[in-house]
Structure 1
Amino acid sequence: MISPVTSPIQPILDKAVAGERLTREEGVQLLESHDLVAIGAAADAVTKRLHPEQFRTYNIDRNINYTNACTAVCDFCAFYRPPSHPDVYVLPMETLLEKIQETVELGGDQILLQGGLHPKLPLEWYEDMLRGIKDAFPQVNVHGFSPPEIHHFTKISKLPLETVLERLKAAGLGSLPGGGGEILVDRVRKEITRGKVLTDDWLNVNRVWHKLGGKSTATMMFGHVETLAERIEHLDRLREVQDETGGFTAFICWTFQPDNTEMDHIPPTGAFEYLKTQAVSRLFLDNFPNIQSSWVTQGAKIGQIALSFGANDMGSLMIEENVVSKAGTVHHLTLDTIRRCITDAGYIPRQRNVFYEYIDEYDPNQTPKTFEAPKGPLVELS
């Protein structure tokens, strides 16, 4: 009889599945491994422990970039323009409200509001924008202003971080997105960007926001100049803040999209590495309740397979997206396709809000399909 082959990383996987915390060294060992099947199975087991329900979720929102003017220089960004560039824009309020109205008509309850680091717009401009949105659409959550933007507002206004966040919250800011995280290691940040917030201040924006009662998401863009150890350091810094505040609702990772950027010489990272990194994130981030799939960068099929590699959420319908698409990655899914991806993966699709509360009507007689695993070796996905 042939004995089954035991993966050398199996003790680490067993530890994570049992709910024990992984060390940085163990996280690196997982990322160094090529045993995608074993890592994915462990991440799926953790997901099912945390989310034994038959549901997998999605939301409907719209990415609205109110300006593309930015004083930071990010080599990985194809969207921003220097403030003096002829293509610089700032959306007028009428256009902003039209975009939100379209989102509401499509069943959305949220907008993702982000821009560049504009050098001249005062804090009062952002407050007026938020009040205008909430006056017109009190039911819509504004998931707005990434930590680099918030940190930039403190410099422009010369006000303490807590004061800036309190004023934005009072004006209508509902939650913070995790944009501008990239890799939360200063060596990496200094190599790929100039004039932008470093790690401690990025984390502190979230820390203070959480202490004010706010919620936020966390992200990671990988597959460029970082090492595997630095990916784990990024996750560890997030885990530390979550231990302290409990304010992160979800983690989302995606691969760097090099086209049309100053870093287009870097080969794109494939689906194998994406699925492995997401799965390791699920195993390492033991205090994060939710992991989002990134179909926007990976496409529908990999986005669906990600539901078996640690994700319990398909992310957003994303009516509008301007940043990743500028880097040449354009995946568009309809609401029916997102729901079908969840159904075909063996789950019941449910619409949720940014706080991961169900906001749709549910038919208790609906049952999930029997899931059939995709045929063929996963190593061919990359």
Structure 2
Amino acid sequence: MNAEIDSILQRAADGGRITPEEALLLYTDAPFHGLGEAADAVRRRRYPDGIVTYLIDRNINYTNVCVTACKFCAFYRAPKHQEGWSHPMEEILHRCGEALDLGATQVMLQGGHHPDYGVEYYETLFSSVKQAYPQLVIHSIGPSEILHMAKVSGVSIEDAILRIKAAGLDSIAGAGAEMLPDRPRKAIAPLKESGARWLEVMATAHRNGLSSTATMMMGTGETNAERIEHIRMIRDVQDLAVANGYADSAVEAADGPGGFRSFIPWTYQPENNHLKGRTQATRIEYLRFVAVSRLFFDNVAHLQSSWLTTGKDVGQLSLHMGVDDLGSIMLEENVISSAGARHRSNLMELISMIRTAGRTPAQRDTLYRHLTVHENPADDPTDERVASHFSSTAMPGGGRKNLPLVEAS
């Protein structure tokens, strides 16, 4: 192994900070197995119990009407398009009830940038869900939606955040990050806010007591250096959160409140969108990036892989590349599946993926607190209803009748 690469890997595995330049060198040149071993050493040091977590939640989309027209998106429809829709509150609450009956602890309410939806709409949305189902955590929307609602209502970003937090928003999703560096972001989402602006909204949310996740979409033509720049931008914002006391040091208190709780890279899906799959990230590129992310993010507690976009085999392999969380069963998912992601799973299969990788499965909540640790296979859940599903807006011939879910009581 190259002496310089070996030295960087050792320092990172021991918990030392690596620079963006060093991260790029590891991403492009480090031996695959050595890279994975170093990332897994970080995971073992942070989580010596060997637990890998999962979540039961449901993504509920309130509208597909959007003015942003991102080139990679197959979900949105322009205003006044004949295929545009907005769910009434009754339907949204019905889906929340179904999710709760299947053991969900969280809902992710997400939708397009509807030209008429300002802060008032989201206040009604979140408060209605909280009133009907106070036990559900609302981990929803992202900086793009916050910027949009503030513009529609003519209020500041901070005012919008404070109002939707008061209405019931518990946590902000990392949605809309895609690629944060300017060149690739303008190429795939020219009407969206800049990456710096996206991070500014996140920093404002962190300052006001809302923690969040961070994401990245790989495979739309960005360079290796731009991929590393993306995580550099996120790490810098997390440094500020830790320095200002909005987040605990991930090293000292891995599940502390505030800032970015986790990083979730996923891969671009090529169907039904304007990019048409001209560029895509390979599985090896993805796994290498997962490992580098674990080594680079010394201040972000958790690393989640995306079996939904990469497949369950890659999802399981990622558990040997520093990943400590497999994310959600996805009782419903429309946006990524509209672009071609068809990987499905169920609760028993997801637990098996974790167990056969030599880890201990545990159901978590939004803040990564363990709800149930499945110490022994005899204790594993057996509810076959708890399965991922692509609902009517993502699959042809849909409708609620196709949802393999129980009726809400």
State the match for 2:283 in structure 1: 271
CA distance in structure 1 between the aligned counterparts of 2:372 and 2:89, rounded to whole angstroms: 30
Q: CA contact under 8 A between 1:63 and 1:114: conserved in structure 2? A: yes
Q: Secondary structure at the match of 1:286?
A: coil
Q: Secondary structure at the match of 1:138?
A: coil
Q: Secondary structure at the match of 2:81?
A: coil
State the match for 2:33 in structure 1: 37
CA distance in structure 1 between the aligned counterparts of 2:295 and 2:123, rounded to whole angstroms: 39
Q: Which amino acid aligns with 1:314?
A: L
Q: CA contact under 8 A between 2:361 and 2:374: conserved in structure 1? A: no
CA distance in structure 2 between the aligned counterparts of 1:314 and 1:118, rounded to whole angstroms: 31
Q: Post-superposition shift, 1:367? A: 11
Equivalent residue runs for 1:223-372 within 5 Å:
223-245=219-241, 246=247, 247-360=259-372
State the match for 1:68 in structure 2: 64
State the match for 2:145 in structure 1: 149
Q: Post-superposition shift, 1:6? A: 5.3
CA distance in structure 1 between the aligned counterparts of 2:4 and 2:239, rounded to whole angstroms: 29
Summarize deviations over 1:172-230 as a string: whole Å, max 9, x none.
00100001101111111111112211112100111011111111000000111211111
Query: Is 2:220 the partner of 1:208?
Result: no
State the match for 1:96 in structure 2: 92
Question: What is the CA RMSD across the aligned residues, in angstroms?
Answer: 1.8
Q: Which amino acid aligns with 1:209?
A: A
Q: Post-superposition shift, 1:34? A: 5.9
CA distance in structure 2 between the aligned counterparts of 1:122 and 1:172, rounded to whole angstroms: 16
State the match for 2:133 in structure 1: 137
Q: CA contact under 8 A between 1:220 and 1:253: conserved in structure 2? A: yes
Change (3 A) 1:334 1:38: same
CA distance in structure 2 between the aligned counterparts of 1:356 and 1:21, rounded to whole angstroms: 24
Q: CA contact under 8 A between 2:188 and 2:220: conserved in structure 1? A: no
Q: Post-superposition shift, 1:350? A: 0.6
CA distance in structure 2 between the aligned counterparts of 1:187 and 1:89, rounded to whole angstroms: 32
Q: Secondary structure at the match of 1:230?
A: helix
Q: Secondary structure at the match of 2:344?
A: coil
CA distance in structure 2 between the aligned counterparts of 1:14 and 1:367, rounded to whole angstroms: 38
Q: Post-superposition shift, 1:257? A: 1.2
Q: CA contact under 8 A between 1:75 and 1:192: conserved in structure 2? A: yes
Q: CA contact under 8 A between 2:118 and 2:148: conserved in structure 1? A: no
Change (3 A) 1:317 1:74: same
Unmatched 5+ stretches in structure 1: 369-382
Q: CA contact under 8 A between 1:252 and 1:291: conserved in structure 2? A: yes
Change (3 A) 1:87 1:355: same
Summarize deviations over 1:317-359 as a string: whole Å, max 9, x none.
1111111111112111000000111111111111001100112
CA distance in structure 2 between the aligned counterparts of 1:262 and 1:34, rounded to whole angstroms: 34
Q: CA contact under 8 A between 1:117 and 1:152: conserved in structure 2? A: yes
State the match for 2:393 in structure 1: none
TM-score normalised to the size of structure 1? 0.92
Q: Which amino acid aligns with 1:221?
A: M
Summarize deviations over 1:91-134 as a string: whole Å, max 9, x none.
11111111111111111010111111111123211111111100
CA distance in structure 1 between the aligned counterparts of 2:169 and 2:187, rounded to whole angstroms: 32
CA distance in structure 2 between the aligned counterparts of 1:194 and 1:365, rounded to whole angstroms: 49
CA distance in structure 1 between the aligned counterparts of 2:375 and 2:15, rounded to whole angstroms: 32
Q: Which amino acid aligns with 2:187?
A: E
State the match for 1:12 in structure 2: 8
Give the total of aligned pairs.
364
Larger deviation, residues 101-110 vs 265-274: 265-274
Q: CA contact under 8 A between 1:59 and 1:351: conserved in structure 2? A: yes
Q: Which amino acid aligns with 1:249?
A: R
TM-score normalised to the size of structure 2? 0.86
State the match for 1:220 in structure 2: 216
Query: Is 2:205 the partner of 1:193?
Result: no
Q: Which amino acid aligns with 1:59?
A: L
Q: Post-superposition shift, 1:7? A: 6.7
Q: Which amino acid aligns with 2:23?
A: G
Q: Which amino acid aligns with 2:317?
A: I
CA distance in structure 1 between the aligned counterparts of 2:107 and 2:322, rounded to whole angstroms: 26
Q: Post-superposition shift, 1:265? A: 4.4
Q: Post-superposition shift, 1:54? A: 2.6
CA distance in structure 2 between the aligned counterparts of 1:365 and 1:345, rounded to whole angstroms: 14
Q: Identity of counterpart residues, as a percentage?
A: 44
CA distance in structure 2 between the aligned counterparts of 1:311 and 1:91, rounded to whole angstroms: 35
Unmatched 5+ stretches in structure 2: 242-246, 248-258, 381-409
Q: Which amino acid aligns with 1:305?
A: L
